[in-house]
A and B are shown apart, each in its own frame.
Chain A
């Protein structure tokens, strides 16, 4: 069975600074996807970034980037130039490739961006 672990329940960062959220996972699958979702106070789940396991290059979306260490089963999210609107819960998630699409979520990290 797959598991996703987020070891930081809460983090805070000053506006304009950089913060890294940690995520580790455990799987025996070779074909899978990893995601970071953001859940702001509105509670709408928003996809931040995704990484295909077969790709060695780390995914990047504007101010968001990941450090994907496949051998270590680590998938951290770096947020650069943090903005007040980045304040949210962040969930790391795993999906087995070719599956029905079941997502396995970590427990989440509450990020607060301070002015």
Chain B
């Protein structure tokens, strides 16, 4: 099956610093990648949708200047949390979609971010 990796799997950073999370599709090309945020015991909340070579589309209420998304190639998307604060601590999950003819999303294992 298709594999999506995320790096790092967990990260601790100090308040005010920035942290970058990578999402890679290992054995397929992802036309679209998605970034989700998940709070404890809650569902996945879609943050943004990114297409290769174009600007990401952010969901309402998500600060695009804080959560920078770059989809540089068909196999790599990055999420950068800028000037992180403790309230940004969360579990971030990416997923990848092959294209309109596909009905499946492949999920990465997630990244736990803790901001101290």
Q: What is the interface of chain A, defined by CB distance below 8 A to chain B?
A: 33, 42-45, 47, 50, 52, 91, 95, 97-103, 105-108, 110
Contact = CB atoms under 8 A, between A and B. Distances in A.
B49 interface: yes
24 contacts: A43-B93, A44-B107, A44-B109, A45-B44, A45-B93, A45-B107, A47-B104, A50-B103, A52-B103, A91-B43, A91-B44, A95-B103, A99-B100, A100-B32, A100-B49, A101-B34, A101-B100, A101-B102, A101-B105, A102-B34, A103-B34, A103-B95, A108-B42, A110-B41
Given A43-B91, A43-B109, A43-B110, A102 B104 contact: no
A100 B98 CA distance: 9
Interface of A is mostly: loop
A48 B91 CA distance: 21
Give the secondary structure class of B's interface: strand
A97 B102 CA distance: 9
Contacts of B100: 98-101
B75 interface: no
Contacts of A105: 43-44
Nearest to B96: A101
A97 B103 contact: yes
A110 to B, nearest CB: 8
A105 B36 CA distance: 11
A102 B51 CA distance: 12
A95 B34 CA distance: 13
Given A43-B110, A44-B109, A101-B34, 4 more contacts: A43-B91, A47-B104, A99-B100, A110-B41
